[in-house]
A = this chain, B = another copy of it.
């Protein structure tokens, strides 16, 4: 059945009942009224700040070939949660505005909505409301709310701070380039599978963001949505600093993929994957260098947030560059840009 046969009211009812909320806190949920209603004292659990972010995904720009409706729904939530993670905040609620072509099958919408609910509930986030209209192409705008006591800003990095990141980068780019047929050699099937999982089901680093925010040593943070280069540029601009990067310290591709052995990719190609492509949604952050003296903290950060130290903060006039031995190479500033 097509959604146009179901009608708007039937469609909203069908979607809304898939979203489960705690009725003690969300007293009015999706599809029930003109607005969602949230008991703010119960919701905020003592936190001082409300944080809000909004992000749109659309078919022609954001959905790689082969992504499933479930994965599209998941991604629409995950990209918003990633911004919440980048503040070190606790996500709480989410609204989803959907533009869906009238010819879409209801089963497609069911799977899309299942992906939205699955990602939201995986991070204790309630889908509290939304909107659905008939559009030319699939377009999803999510808005996410969360709470924090000490939201971590992009501004705050100081000269001498250590530049750190969570996890590894490049899986999503590897998948994207494979799908687009841009790689010279074919990847082993197992590698392609792992890479595609990163691209199709991005993991917002919510827990990592909270641990980093609570570490007592973080000075700035951002998520890596459009490649490491652009995220470094944002931190540098907001904090008015430069960045010295030790490229060999940046984990490129996940352990699962690296354990497959040689991928027939040059060092330069690997660097491109990490620095100039997005989609991995790891966190980039800076910490006070004195943190190094606290071995227990450092070990905990390596264990709990898979932290790597990839560089150090330098004066703004130095710019952003790769350092290897005595050699300096200025970093190209490119990555995904909408305009």
Contact = CB atoms under 8 A, between A and B. Distances in A.
Interface in A267-289: none
A180 interface: no
Contacts of A132: 338-339
A133 interface: yes
Contacts of A93: 52
Contact of A53 (B35, B54, B238): B35
Interface residues of A, number: 73
A122 interface: no
Interface string A290-310: 000000000000000000000
B41 A48 contact: yes
Nearest to A4: B339
Contacts of A151: 28, 35, 37
A37 B49 contact: yes
A164 interface: no
Copies of this protein in the complex: 2
Interface string A15-59: 000000000000110001111111111011001111111111010
Interface string A81-117: 0011011010001011101001000000000000000
Interface stretch (A6-14, A189-197, A211-219, A246-254): A6-14
Q: Interface centre among A39, A40, A60, A96, by most B CB within 10 Å? A: A40
A8 B337 CA distance: 6
Interface string A160-181: 0000000000000000000000
Contacts of A74: none
B34 A43 contact: no
Nearest to A144: B35
Contacts of A147: 40
A49 B28 CA distance: 10
A131 interface: yes
A21 to B, nearest CB: 12
A95 B131 contact: no
A339 B251 CA distance: 48
A312 interface: no
Contacts of A47: 40
Given A11-B339, A54-B130, A339-B11, A146 B35 contact: yes
A99 B136 CA distance: 13
Nearest to A41: B48
A294 B185 CA distance: 82
B141 A131 contact: yes
Query: Which A-B residue pairs are the 7 nearest by beta carbons?
Result: A34-B86, A141-B141, A143-B143, A35-B51, A34-B83, A35-B53, A38-B50
15 contacts: A8-B337, A33-B153, A33-B155, A35-B146, A38-B49, A40-B50, A52-B95, A56-B131, A60-B135, A97-B97, A97-B141, A97-B143, A99-B139, A102-B339, A134-B338
Interface of A: 3-4, 6-9, 11, 27-28, 32-41, 43-44, 47-56, 58, 60-61, 83-84, 86-87, 89, 93, 95-97, 99, 102, 128-137, 139, 141, 143, 145-148, 151, 153-155, 221-223, 238, 337-339
